Structure 1
Amino acid sequence: MVQIGDIQLGDFPLLLAPMEDVSDPPFRAVCKENGADLMYTEFISSEGLIRDAAKSVQKLDIFEYERPIGIQLFGSDIESMIKSTEIATAAHPNLIDINYGCPVKNVACRGAGAALLQDIPKMVKMTEAVVKATHLPVTVKTRLGWDESTKNIEEVAERLQDIGIKALTVHGRTRVQMYKGSADWTLIAKVKNNPRIQIPIFGNGDIDTPEKALEYKNRYGVDGIMIGRASIGYPWIFNEIKHFLATGQHLQGPDMAERVRIARKHLDFSVKWKGEVLGILEMRRHYTNYFKGIDHFKPYRQQLVQTDHYENVVALLDEISDKFSEAFAS
C-alpha cells in the first residue's frame, strides 16, 4: 500500500500531472471518473496568490469528489512560499506540492520551478520552510537536474526526504531538455532503489500506453506513475492502464458515444466554471485527442474549434455522435 502521510493510494497509484491550462477542475473531473488516484491543481504562483490575483485564487478551487488532491505551488522567494502555503492550506487540500520541475522560461528564468535545481541549498531551505508552514503532507515534483552535467536528483531526493517531504515525483528529463527526446528513467530507479529513501517515488515522462506502464513498473520499480500529456483528451488511459496491470488484457477503448459523453461532461463543467466564452475557448485544445484517429473527422474538428456558442457546440457533438457511432462500431 502506497501512502503519503495518512493518505492511502493503493498498491500502484496513477497520478494526474499538474499541467498549466489543462489540469483544471473540469479536466480533473473526467480523469477522476476514469481512474486517476491522485490529482493536482495547475501550478499556482506564490506571488500571485499573495497579491490575490484572480487567476491564481481560482486555481484553489477543489471539490470533494476529487480527493485526494494536492495544491501545487511554485515561487522563487521563500517568504512568499510560506505565505502562499498558509493560504493554500486554508483551502483544505489533502497535500501541498512544490513545483521544482517546470522548465518554461517565464517560470525558470524568474528563479522558480526547475531553476531551483541550480541552487540545491535554497531548494532545501525553501522546502523546509513550506513543510513547517503547514500541517499537511508536502510533496515535490522535479527533474533529473538542470542539464546533462548536473543530474543531481539522487542528492536532491535524500536532502528533501531528510527535511520532511512525504513523496517525490521525478520527471525523467533535465530542464535543458524541456520535453524533447526520451525520458531517462534509470536515475529515477536509482533514487527508488537507494536504501536511504523511504518515501514513495513516482516516475513521470513518456508513459502513453498500458504496455509501457507495465514495462516501466517492472523495470524501474517505482511506487506509481504520473501521467501528463497522454491524458489530454484521453482520460480513459488511467483505467486502461489499471486493467492491463491487473489482467494483462486490453480494456476496450471508448466508442463514439462514450467519447462524446466525456467531451460533453468536460465542456459543461468548463462553461459552468469559467463562463461560456472562456469555457468554450479552452475546450478547443482537447477535441483533437477526444476524437483522435477517426476517419473523415477533420471537417467536424474544424467546426469544433471555430464554434463560439454553447448550444451550437452541443448540437455539433450530438451530430457527431449520430453520424459516427455506427461507423465507429464497425
Structure 2
Amino acid sequence: MSVKIGNIDLGEFPLLLAPMEDVSDPPFRFVCKQSGVDMMYTEFISSEGLIRDAAKSRAKLDIFEYERPIGIQIFGSEIDHMREATEIATLAGPDLMDINYGCPVKQVACKGAGSALLQDIDKMVKMTEAVVKATHLPVTVKTRLGWDDNTKNVEEVAERLQDIGIQALTIHGRTRAQLYKGEADWTLIREIKRNPRIKIPIFGNGDVDSIQKAADWRLEYEIDGIMIGRAAIGYPWIFREIRHFFNTGKTLAGPTIQERVSVCRTHFEKSIAWKGPRVGIFEMRRHYANYFKGLPDFKPYRMLLVKEENIDTIHSILDEVAHKYRNIEPVGEMA
C-alpha cells in the first residue's frame, strides 16, 4: 500500500528525514537524498523571522527541484503570524507545509511555540486551522506525546487536528519534559494508528538508529512510515540500508572509508557553495566526528579538520584520511 499525503505518493512505508535545527540544511539534505530518503523537511523556520524578513529565516526557504517531495516546517506562538508565515512559505514552492508542535528547547517552548502548544490544545487547533486555510498545499504536523507524563494528550491532538484538515501526523515518542533523554515510547503512537477514527498517515519518530529497530518497530507499532533525525547525522546511509533490508531481507554492507570521505567531501563542497567559504567551512565542523565515527585514533585528524580554514588543505586532510584508513573497518557500525 502506497502512503499518500494529499496527492504526494510516498510509496510503501516511506523513510522521512526529520527537520533539525542547524542540521537539515540543503547541503545535508543533498547527501540524504543521494542515500534514498523518501521525503525531507527544511530546518524549522520562525514565523516571526519570516514576517520580519530576517535573512536567516528567508535563507531556510531555499529548496531545490531534486529535493522533492519536500516540506517547509514553521513554528510560532501567534496565530496571525503563523497564517502570514504560511502564505510567505507557500510562495517558496514546497510540496507541503509542516507545523512544529514538538520542539522542546527553551528558546522555542518558553516563548509559547513548538511543544508549548501541547499545553493549550484549543489554541493548537485554531493555529492549525489558520495554517490549513492559508495554503493550497497539504498541511502536516510534528508533535510529541504530551507536555509531561501527566499530560500525554497526543490522542486528542491526532483526532482534533485530523478533523480540521491536516493530512499526516508525525509523533516523537517522548514528552516535552523528557527533551531527548530516556527512551522513546511508541506505544501511544500504535494506539493512535489503531484508532478507527484516524485515517491520515501516522509516522513514528525517536530513537530509530538501526536497521533492526526500523524493521521491528514497523511491525510492532503498525506505523505508516518512520522519520529519522539524529541517526542520519554523519550517516546518511541509514536510509539506504533500511530500504535495502525492507526490499531484500538482507543487510547491506556499511560504507567504505572511501565512500565516507567522498560523501563528507560532497557535503563540504555543497556547504561552501550554499553558504560561502567562511560560513560553509565553519558550519561543516560539527559533522566531521560523525562521518568518521568508529575510526581508531581519529581525534588528531578531527582536530585538524575543525581548526583548518583553507579549503584546499581540508581536501588534503580528507585525502590523507582516506589513505590512512583504507584497510580499516570502522567499529560500531550500523546493525
TM range (shorter): over 0.9
1:131 aligns with 2:128: no
Q: Secondary structure of the equivalent of 1:18?
A: coil
**For residue 167 of structure 2, what is the aligned residue in structure 1?**
166
Q: Secondary structure of the equivalent of 1:327?
A: coil
- Give distance in 1, aligned partners of 2:35 and 2:186: 26
Q: Secondary structure of the equivalent of 1:83?
A: helix
1:295 is displaced (CA, Å) by 1.5
1:277 is displaced (CA, Å) by 1.2
1:318 aligns with 2:319: yes
AA aligned to 2:90 is T
Q: Secondary structure of the equivalent of 2:11?
A: coil
Alignment length, in residue pairs? 329
- Give distance in 1, aligned partners of 2:250 and 2:286: 30
- Give distance in 1, aligned partners of 2:8 and 2:101: 22
Question: What pairs up with 1:233-248 in 2 under 5 angstroms?
Answer: 233-248=234-249
Structure 1 stretches of 4+ moved >6 Å: none
TM-score, normalization: structure 2? Answer: 0.97
1:302 is displaced (CA, Å) by 1.3
TM-score, normalization: structure 1? Answer: 0.99
Q: Secondary structure of the equivalent of 2:170?
A: strand
Instruction: Answer with 287-296 or 177-186: which moved more.
Output: 287-296
**For residue 48 of structure 1, what is the aligned residue in structure 2?**
49
- Residue deviations 1:258-308 (CA, integer Å, cap 9, x gap): 001100000000011111111111111111111111112221111111111
Q: Secondary structure of the equivalent of 1:326?
A: coil
1:188 is displaced (CA, Å) by 0.4
AA aligned to 1:234 is Y
AA aligned to 2:211 is P
**For residue 83 of structure 2, what is the aligned residue in structure 1?**
82
AA aligned to 1:36 is V
1:326 is displaced (CA, Å) by 3.0
**For residue 271 of structure 1, what is the aligned residue in structure 2?**
272
- Give distance in 2, aligned partners of 1:171 and 1:9: 20
**For residue 192 of structure 1, what is the aligned residue in structure 2?**
193
- Give distance in 1, aligned partners of 2:114 and 2:57: 16
- Give distance in 2, aligned partners of 1:66 and 1:100: 24
- Give distance in 2, aligned partners of 1:326 and 1:228: 30
AA aligned to 2:191 is K
Q: Which structure 2 segments of 5+ residues have no match? A: 331-335
AA aligned to 2:235 is Y
- Give distance in 2, aligned partners of 1:89 and 1:327: 47
1:149 is displaced (CA, Å) by 0.5
Question: What pairs up with 1:155-304 in 2 under 5 angstroms?
Answer: 155-304=156-305
- Residue deviations 1:18-66 (CA, integer Å, cap 9, x gap): 0000000000000000011000000000000000000000000000000
1:328 is displaced (CA, Å) by 4.2
**For residue 333 of structure 2, what is the aligned residue in structure 1?**
none
- Give distance in 2, aligned partners of 1:326 and 1:143: 43
**For residue 105 of structure 1, what is the aligned residue in structure 2?**
106
**For residue 149 of structure 1, what is the aligned residue in structure 2?**
150
- Give distance in 1, aligned partners of 2:288 and 2:193: 37
Q: Secondary structure of the equivalent of 1:139?
A: strand
Q: Secondary structure of the equivalent of 1:124?
A: helix
AA aligned to 2:62 is D
AA aligned to 2:140 is T
